[in-house]
Structure 1
């Protein structure tokens, strides 16, 4: 009988599922097999496996099986982030197994977009069982099974027994993946810093957590000037610059483009230039074994002290003779040396932004530099 789940049948399903988890752990098969086996064992259901970071609203991994591709795409693009069960799962700080009809019925969300536009159209698969394993920094791995409410009386008990049986396998897999991911992230970080010895360089994740730093960056942190580390998180000394820093980190760590790659600001101690670049993770040495717990996006940060608070009086006149810079170009360079942006320098000098950009291009040509960071290093050395 298809709806009879005796001890032997539950045992076979559990063994098959455990074997699939172990195989995926060591890269011998796809993680897609795990929710597929679970769904096939309970006709009329769909299975899901996901890694969701609740605090960052970031979907790190998703596999939905026995589901129309259009619903899979809709979940990945939109419904994963408004899933009302996220609040329930996010409240647990330990491994948790439960049946929705017993602990948090879907009917509680009957007036939500998630329930009416995504869940109900799928053969009214509103009943569910789930297993959550707590990851790192609000990460959560969920193995789920959804089915029509009419099957809840039979499926709830059997599916809970299966999830309880394979809990250890999935926990061991996640723990191994965490260790491997940590090794991969450390390797990426070390590689990024190894050749950055001329200025303060450090690596952070999208939530400002400091991952590693070179000796010059450690000295910078200790001085408390320009950049500070508080409770393991990096902050810029200027509030406006720090807000831009946070926004750029968030986008770069997510692999999204940002117009902010360099931030200049001033403090009582001097002027600073901060450059940011996303670190590549696509070709990390973890391979397929890290597909469910991919290396987190990290950002390389370079900090250059552009000079003291009196940099507006810096002696840049020798550059006029060496590179043929005009007096107005020297004055413009002094504004940049203070950490001002092109727009800020234009405002201070009473010129248009277009004039400021033209002036900068001419300075690039005369000094044989092509980027503002190169020009800043030249100006610092000259002053």
Structure 2
């Protein structure tokens, strides 16, 4: 019977890798099977000042206090950040005199309603972020029997694999949902943030963009705009994402000023709804889709050159002619004289097989 129970729980652990909302009930079953008073999944990411504890039996006020403040001062959390995955650690592995005299213990830990000598097992570490499985004792029986540790060692490898599977699936879902966003010729980057603007994911283009001097920065793990007014708009748009339907923009696009020569960047803020119940990382709130019109121009110029065998200068002028405000305006934007523009335009006519500007615009639009 006990063997069947273990197999059932192992099966549910892998089910939870696909359905994250099964974890709370499952943690209760794992604690009961192993002989602990309570079980928890803890995720910490110091880079974005984030902590999350998923544990069905704990006092909600204690969880809020831990996630807001005490996780930074938890000696076991500090040790877990340096410990290889799968290794059991406990209060016995740290300086107990220091632990029991600390503010963490005397102002927080002793009031949580659980014993002190449970076990903590790191599940993964990625950069500075990590996750742990915790099995807690009760105050009345503040130690684990050999059988409890044996059962816990049976469960932990499966929990570790399930968490790894869930994280990989989450990343695949993320990448799949972002593919369409990066296909535009003016795509300059995509950033995934939580409700507090904390950066959870950057694509390669966004990393390159942030490495250069732009109006977008990451400070203390949070995405910010250098201009205070536009940063307020960004913050408001991100916070409103929880109330907006998926794929619907959260307000108007945000314009980000750059240098005098470069065009403004545009940020579209969209809600992000995939795997919002994922307990192994900070929940994302919004996607920041960054567009750079200069990138689009480069791609369009190269496309026109390839299609009609235009020179770079001819392709740039042809692209400006598409705006329909005349040869003089197009020449001014290209930084050339009207006479030079006239010469370029005659060659463009020859290569595209047209005789008038209206025909040229129609051909370019069709292409």
Change in Cα spacing, 1:171 to 1:64, as seen in structure 2 (3 Å) is closer
Q: 1:134 aligns with which of 124, 136, 139?
A: 124
Q: Where do residues 1-383 of structure 1 align in structure 2 (5 Å cutoff)? A: 14-15=6-7, 17-27=9-19, 30-41=22-33, 45-59=37-51, 61-92=52-83, 94-104=84-94, 107-123=97-113, 125-148=115-138, 151-153=141-143, 155=144, 157-194=146-183, 196-197=184-185, 199-205=186-192, 207=199, 210-211=202-203, 213=205, 229=208, 234-237=210-213, 242=217, 247-248=222-223, 256=239, 261-266=254-259, 270-282=261-273, 284=274, 290-293=278-281, 298-305=287-294
Query: Residue in 2 aligned with 1:311?
Result: none
CA distance in 2, matches of 1:179, 1:44: 29
Displacement, 1:181? 1.2
What is the distance in 2 between the residues matched to 1:132 and 1:265? 44
- TM-score normalised by the chain length of structure 1: 0.57
1:245 and 1:172 map into 2 onto residues whose CA distance is 31
| Conservation of the 8 A alpha-carbon contact between 1:128 and 1:144 | yes
Change (3 A) 1:294 1:122: closer
**1-side partners of 2:222 and 2:21: how far apart?**
38
Structure 1 gap ranges (5+): 1-7, 214-226, 308-321, 323-383
Q: Deviations over 1:98-137 (max 9, x none)?
A: 2413313665333444312221013462222022111434
The 2-side partners of 1:179 and 1:98 are apart by: 24
- Equivalenced residue count is 272
CA distance in 2, matches of 1:244, 1:287: 24
Distance (Å, rounded) in 2 between the aligned partners of 1:261 and 1:281: 18
Q: Structure 2, unaligned stretches of length 5 or more?
A: 193-197, 226-233, 242-252, 298-324, 326-367
Measure, in 1, the Cα distance between the counterparts of 2:276 and 2:202: 25
CA change 1:102–1:171 in 2 (3 A) is same
Asked if structure 2 preserves the Cα contact closer than 8 Å seen for 1:54 and 1:86, the reply is no
SS state at 2:23 partner: coil
In 1, are the aligned partners of 2:43 and 2:279 still within 8 Å (CA)?
no
Distance 1:75 1:241, change over 3 A: closer
d(CA) in 1 for partners of 2:74, 2:220: 30
**CA RMSD in angstroms, aligned pairs only:** 4.2
Cα deviation, 1:345-377, whole Å, max 9, x if unaligned, reads xxxxxxxxxxxxxxxxxxxxxxxxxxxxxxxxx
User: Residue 31 of structure 1 aligns to a residue in which SS?
Assistant: helix
Q: Is the 8 A contact 2:81 2:125 kept in 1?
A: no
TM-score (structure 2 length as normaliser): 0.59
Asked if structure 2 preserves the Cα contact closer than 8 Å seen for 1:38 and 1:47, the reply is: yes
